[in-house]
Structure 1
Amino acid sequence: MSTTAGNTKAYADSSGSFKRRGPRFTDRIVANPTGEGEWPAEPGRYRLVVSLACPWAHRSVIVRRLMGLEDAISLGITDPLQDDRSWRFSLDEDAKDPVLGYTHLEQAYLARDPEDGTENGVSVPAIVDVASGQLVTNDYPQITIDLGQQWRAHQRAGAPDLYPEELREEIDGVNEGVFHDVNNGVYRAGFATKQARYEEAFTALFARLDALDERLENQRYLVGDHITEADIRLFTTLARFDAVYQSHFKCNRQKLAEFGALWAYARDLYQTPGFGDTVDFDHIKRHYYMVQTTINPTQIVPLGPEPSAWLTTHHREELGGSPFGPEGSAPTPLEHPLRPLGPIDM
């Protein structure tokens, strides 16, 4: 089984450090393709496959919802519990994705490259060309940027600009530190195989969280006065912190709920349409605690923490700014949960 939540293959090197391999397929879907490796942004052509457990895939779910692309790009959701072929569609009727007809996401990877399609693992998020059944891209950082920038002709009225040109340098700088020390940092702590490597990751993680906590004391969002890519990338790790990383990955100096500004910031985002309504704590906990048996061999899933804490008052609006910018608006409420109907194997 995979040892990570949704991203690419990972391993610990001889020093005991966790290493993550990058995405295998880095084609892009763009408004005006001009060459090899570029696909047209055509509504109805693609299916976005995710796991609700996976923080890397969760980013794309949030952006798709914020941009109002539900009718343009369909969504396939995998079982949080993998088998020896990785992500499977066992929550859907007949254990097959109703659009692709696949039982496993692996099939889209092999349709794209029968020889080496799964060389770097089978990861989510993955965008699949429906007609051919071939994987287009699993480049998780680029997917969200392109959903925000390249699909503008198909976005809802009031969709925010998550990657404004004048803020890109600052957003990229924030994202780089957050990726290394927080998004990937929790994995570097959790999957380290030597004490020194764990302590290095642990120290860097909490140093970064302390810096973010200080940064957010006097500003509502990480960059600028409305939500950007930076907030989305940080949020998906924060949403899993107390439920998983604090205990399961031994990131236990303190809980997210014991921070000041950072915890209020996380609650502010959670209560913003597109964020909390895409979080599934059941999928999250079942995946981490039941799949990662090298860390949790008993596969016991903890009952806490109480999710209602995410709905408590945060007062972040007092800092000014607005979630979607001065000309933006919230996406319409979800009519039903994201999760497909069906049992989860225990």
Structure 2
Amino acid sequence: MTTAQSQPGSYVEPGEFKRDTNYITTRITADGHDGYPVEAGRYRLVAARACPWANRTLIVRRLLGLESVLSLGLCGPTHDKRSWTFDLDPGEVDPVLGIHFLQDAYFKRYPDYPRGITVPAIVDVPTGQVVTNDYAQMTLDFSTEWVAYHRPGAPRLYPEDLRPEIDSVNRRVYTEVNNGVYRCGFAGDQQAYDAAYDRLFTALDWLEERLRTQRYLVGDTLTEADVRLFTTLARFDPVYHGHFKCNRQKLIEFPVLWAYARDLYQTPGFGDTIDFTQIKQHYYIVHTDINPTRIVPKGPELSNWLTPHGREALGGRPFGDGTPPPPPVPAEIVPASHSALSAPEHAD
């Protein structure tokens, strides 16, 4: 969950980077016990393709087929200290919520909201108020509370029998990898950076071994665990390796993890949510404390994401007894120039 406060000096402080994990924990549930029942058309998911935490919601929404019941508002890749903004829309105003600054939805519910204005967020359209920005719970609820609206053939991303193992893997992936790259990038001194670096690559080495003999992180199908790891892997070489100094090796230099990442990228619902251009613009332009020139690198090469990965040899069924999602709705297609999936090699 990248915050709107990632401005000069706000993260880089002496010592270890500490993430604010106090989110709005209101839930949208089938029984509506928090006052927000699951309803088709009532809520709007606000995300940004640049943000790895928001990217999770885009993937799960696609895989489960919730596009027709949960509308999507996309913020642009950059923001200032105030808020994410809808600068990709005509007039820079979200056509459903009628706002330019996402903070307006936060302030409508909490006029003195003291924390970062973050994506993803779900907004109650009738009131214009943010319901939740608890990204970790959000995707689990998509799987467990929005079941009545899942598409036919939707995968079981959080099956009950695998939840203890999924939760265990997710905890380590979050602390050591998803957040680990940020601990490297925003470390405030050498000692904190060195420790974060060692923890990150210890975890990546563990994942390399875990995935050597199994196609997916937990069980033989895609689960929530794969979604959470993938969004960090997709950003590793374009951003984290250089910008965040996670440079022991690139993702493409991990034989197993690189094949695993390509396998997911080429799976419908994963790669078609990735906008490499917006990802690079966000990190290199917004984090001026790390990159004061705001120069966005041209690389890396993207067509290698489409090379054969060979992971089918490990077996596994990506969608279990279900089916792949249909193509993205036209309004949500990533521009061709921003995605490896639109390269000529993929046209056939």
2:13·2:188 contact (CA, 8 Å) conserved in 1? no
Change (3 A) 1:312 1:340: closer
Residues 190-205 of structure 1 correspond to what in structure 2 (within 5 A)? Answer: 190-205=185-200
Is 1:18 the counterpart of 2:13? The answer is no
Is 1:309 the counterpart of 2:304? The answer is yes
| 1:330 maps to which of 312, 315, 324 | 324
Q: Which residue of 2 aligns with 1:81?
A: 78
Kindly state the Cα deviation for residue 168 of structure 1 after the two structures are TM-superposed: 0.6
Q: Which residue of 2 aligns with 1:186?
A: 181
Structure 2: how far apart are the matches of 1:67 and 1:335? 14
Q: Report the AA paired with residue 326 of structure 2.
A: T
**2:171 partner SS:** helix
Residues 1-346 of structure 1 correspond to what in structure 2 (within 5 A)? Answer: 5-6=2-3, 15-34=14-33, 37-115=34-112, 117=113, 119-325=114-320, 327-336=321-330, 338=332
1:8·1:22 contact (CA, 8 Å) conserved in 2? no
Indicate the larger mover: 37-46 or 201-210: 37-46
Change (3 A) 1:41 1:9: farther
Kindly state the Cα deviation for residue 338 of structure 1 after the two structures are TM-superposed: 2.5
Kindly state the Cα deviation for residue 245 of structure 1 after the two structures are TM-superposed: 0.1
Kindly state the Cα deviation for residue 41 of structure 1 after the two structures are TM-superposed: 0.5
Structure 2: how far apart are the matches of 1:206 and 1:84? 31
**2:105 partner SS:** helix
Kindly state the Cα deviation for residue 261 of structure 1 after the two structures are TM-superposed: 0.8
Q: Report the AA paired with residue 17 of structure 1.
A: E
Change (3 A) 1:85 1:340: farther
Structure 1: how far apart are the matches of 2:249 and 2:59? 27
2:12·2:187 contact (CA, 8 Å) conserved in 1? no
**2:36 partner SS:** strand
Structure 1: how far apart are the matches of 2:197 and 2:230? 19
Change (3 A) 1:339 1:102: farther
2:5·2:81 contact (CA, 8 Å) conserved in 1? no
**1:17 partner SS:** coil
**2:28 partner SS:** strand
2:47·2:74 contact (CA, 8 Å) conserved in 1? yes
Q: Gaps spanning 5+ residues in structure 2: where?
A: 336-348
1:221·1:227 contact (CA, 8 Å) conserved in 2? yes
Q: Report the AA paired with residue 329 of structure 1.
A: T
Kindly state the Cα deviation for residue 22 of structure 1 after the two structures are TM-superposed: 1.2
Q: Gaps spanning 5+ residues in structure 1: where?
A: 342-346
Structure 1: how far apart are the matches of 2:5 and 2:81? 15
Change (3 A) 1:24 1:5: closer
- Cα RMSD (Å): 1.7
Structure 1: how far apart are the matches of 2:102 and 2:71? 15
**1:22 partner SS:** coil
Structure 1: how far apart are the matches of 2:117 and 2:196? 26
TM-score, with length taken from structure 1: 0.93
**2:18 partner SS:** strand
Structure 2: how far apart are the matches of 1:59 and 1:23? 19
Question: How many residue pairs get matched?
Answer: 333
**2:332 partner SS:** coil
Show structure 1 runs of 4+ deviating over 4 A: 6-15
Kindly state the Cα deviation for residue 5 of structure 1 after the two structures are TM-superposed: 2.9
Kindly state the Cα deviation for residue 23 of structure 1 after the two structures are TM-superposed: 3.9
Kindly state the Cα deviation for residue 339 of structure 1 after the two structures are TM-superposed: 6.2
Structure 2: how far apart are the matches of 1:111 and 1:193? 35
Cα deviation code 1:276-323 (max 9, x no counterpart): 000000100000000100000000000111111111000101101111
Q: Report the AA paired with residue 322 of structure 2.
A: G
Q: Report the AA paired with residue 332 of structure 1.
A: P
Q: Report the AA paired with residue 270 of structure 1.
A: Y
2:281·2:296 contact (CA, 8 Å) conserved in 1? yes
Structure 2: how far apart are the matches of 1:268 and 1:292? 30
